[in-house]
């Protein structure tokens, strides 16, 4: 997207006498297009923050008697995090104590 150097309006592309040109709708500025040019640009992706704090967040947590829904191991690590507004209850996150499973779920 290009802008007019005279009035800063957006230039439109039109065909004129078999050629393409960029024309301003608000002033008499015209620019003949001599060659085709394209430019691809990709937006920078946002980095996703780990809500639970990553693997280090599970290092010093307590375990409780909670059955894993995947492997049915009887114990799970847990932590509580305030994910919504202050007047809402905290969300409890669980991680299976079974090292081969490691399933994460929330209550």
Global confidence as pTM: 0.50
Q: Among residues of the chain, what percentage have pLDDT more than 70?
A: 93
Tell me if 41 is assigned to some domain.
no
Which CATH number does the domain housing residue 81 bear? 2.20.25.10
Tokens 């996703």 sit on residue: 48
Total domain count for the chain?
2
pLDDT of residue 51: 62
Q: What is the domain extent for residue 13?
A: 1-35
Tokens of 51: 């809500």
The contacts of residue 62 (CB under 8 Å, 6+ apart) are 77, 78
How far out from the chain centre does Cα 71 lie?
Answer: 32
pLDDT of residue 83: 81
Tell me if 100 is assigned to some domain.
yes
Tell me if 98 is assigned to some domain.
yes
* Closest C-alpha among 88, 93, 89, 84 to residue 53: 93
Q: How confident is the model at residue 40 (pLDDT cuts 50, 70, 90)?
A: confident
pLDDT tens string 74-100: 999 998 888 888 898 988 999 999 888
pLDDT of residue 35: 81
As a whole number, mean pLDDT of residues 55-77 equals 87
Asked whether residue 26 falls in the same domain as residue 63, the answer is: no
pLDDT of residue 68: 92
Tell me if 52 is assigned to some domain.
no
In this predicted model, which residue has the larger pLDDT, 30 or 1? 30
């Amino acid at each position: 997207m290009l802008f007019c150097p005279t009035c800063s309006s957006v230039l439109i592309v039109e065909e004129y006498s078999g050629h393409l040109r960029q024309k301003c709708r608000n002033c008499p500025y015209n620019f003949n297009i001599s060659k085709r040019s394209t430019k691809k640009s990709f937006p920078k992706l946002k980095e996703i923050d780990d809500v639970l704090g990553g693997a280090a967040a599970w290092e010093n947590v307590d375990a409780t008697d909670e059955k894993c829904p995947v492997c049915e191991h009887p114990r799970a690590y847990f932590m509580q995090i305030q994910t919504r507004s202050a007047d809402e209850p905290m969300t409890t996150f669980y991680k299976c104590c079974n090292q081969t499973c490691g399933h994460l779920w929330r209550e």
